[in-house]
C-alpha cells in the first residue's frame, strides 16, 4: 500500500463569502437600514448617506478581516458567561481507587 495524499478539488466559488460590493450581505443590509433610518429620523439625505457610507466601509473592513466575523460576534455575545475568564469557578476532582503512574 502506498502512502499517498488524497487531493480533493474545491471550487473557488464555494469557499468565497457572499458579498455585495465587497461587504458581507447582512452587514451591507444593516448599513443600508441604518442609513435609511437616519434619513427618516433626521429628514436629512446627507446624514443618511453619511451613516450608510461609514457603516458600509466598516462592513468592508470587517469582511476583509474575517468573513465570519458577524457570526463570531453574535455567538460570543450569546455565550459570554462561558468565555469570560473572570467568571471561572474551580471544581474539585476526586480519584477513587486508581493507581497513579
pLDDT of residue 64: 87
Considering only 42-46, 48-52, 60-64, 93-97, which range has the smallest mean pLDDT? 93-97
Contact of 23 with 59, CB cutoff 8 Å: yes
Considering only 14-28, 39-53, 84-98, which range has the smallest mean pLDDT? 84-98
User: Does the structure show a pLDDT above 70 at 36?
Assistant: yes
Alpha helices in 16-84 (DSSP H): 25-42, 45-65, 69-78, 80-83
> How large a percentage of the chain has pLDDT more than 70?
76
Compare 74 and 101 and report the one with higher pLDDT.
Answer: 74
What's the rounded Cα separation, in Å, for the pair 50 and 27?
Answer: 16
Q: How far is CA 18 from CA 24, 58, 63, in A?
A: 6, 17, 10
Amino acid at each position: 500500500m502506498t502512502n499517498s495524499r488524497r487531493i480533493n478539488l474545491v471550487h473557488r466559488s464555494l469557499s468565497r463569502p457572499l458579498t455585495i460590493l465587497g461587504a458581507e450581505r447582512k452587514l451591507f443590509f444593516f448599513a443600508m437600514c441604518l442609513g435609511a433610518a437616519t434619513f427618516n429620523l433626521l429628514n436629512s439625505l446627507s446624514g443618511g448617506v453619511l451613516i450608510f457610507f461609514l457603516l458600509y466601509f466598516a462592513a468592508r473592513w470587517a469582511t476583509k478581516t474575517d468573513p465570519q466575523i458577524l457570526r463570531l460576534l453574535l455567538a460570543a455575545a450569546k455565550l459570554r458567561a462561558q468565555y469570560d475568564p473572570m467568571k471561572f469557578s474551580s471544581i474539585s476532582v476526586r480519584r477513587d481507587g486508581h493507581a497513579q503512574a
